[in-house]
Amino acid sequence: MTLAVLSQSAQSEPLRIAISKGSGSDSYLRYGEWLKSTGIDIEIVDMISYSPDEAAKLLETCKGLVL
């Protein structure tokens, strides 16, 4: 995988990144750890716990999605 790191020059809020499934096993938890290892202030949104309609609305508030 490749991670494009975005500049947060004037951002005071964390960069919101959605993960299609970021929990349930150690393997899934590694995605969030990997993203946070960039040193950028990142908020992880685990989409697995939302209904499709809720997830679609929440995704609109995110800057990226990891499938």
Q: What is the pLDDT of residues 2-27, one digit of tens each?
A: 455 555 445 588 999 999 888 888 88
Per residue in 22-59, pLDDT (tens digit) is 888 888 888 889 999 999 999 999 999 999 999 999 99
Q: What does the pLDDT read at residue 11? A: 59
Contact status, residue 22 vs residue 29, Cβ threshold 8 Å:
yes
Query: Is 19 exposed, middle or buried, given 0-12, 13-18 or 19+ CB atoms closer than 10 A?
Result: buried
Q: What does the pLDDT read at residue 9? A: 46
Task: Give pTM, 2 decimals.
Answer: 0.73
Q: What does the pLDDT read at residue 21? A: 87
CA 58 vs. chain centroid, Å, equals: 11
Domain edges within the chain = 15-66
